[in-house]
Amino acid sequence: MPQRLHLVFGGELKDPAKSEFTDPAKIDLVGMFPDYASAFSAWKSAAQRTVDDAHTRYFIAHIHRLRDEETEASPTEELGS
């Protein structure tokens, strides 16, 4: 079974209704997690720490969805080989 990695990150947004960060260099990388349950727990903890700041938001990125070993490589990936 393939590993299902999840990245939890967040930071201050320019507009709370959108997902554009004020300063991408200051994004808080909470960590990489081996399953959704542990990623959700880390996300919830980070989000609760910043609950009073409407401009700060945390996300869970499904890293395992970015690369599927079963599909053929894209032309860009083939350049790196």
Whether the model clears a pTM of 0.85, i.e. scores above it, the answer is: no
Which homologous superfamily is 1-15+35-80 in?
Uncharacterised protein PF13773, DUF4170 (3.30.70.2400)
What is the structure's pLDDT at 50? Answer: 92
DSSP 74: P
- Supply 35's token pair: 């399953």
For the range 39-44, what are the long-range contacts, defined as Cβ-Cβ under 8 Å and sequence gap of 24 or more? 39/6, 39/7, 39/8, 42/8, 43/8
Instruction: Walk along the chain (81 residues) and give the pLDDT tens digit of each residue.
Output: 667 899 999 999 999 999 999 999 999 999 999 999 999 999 999 999 999 999 999 999 988 777 666 655 555 444 444
pLDDT of residue 1: 61
Query: CA–CA separation, 4 vs 56, rounded Å?
Result: 26
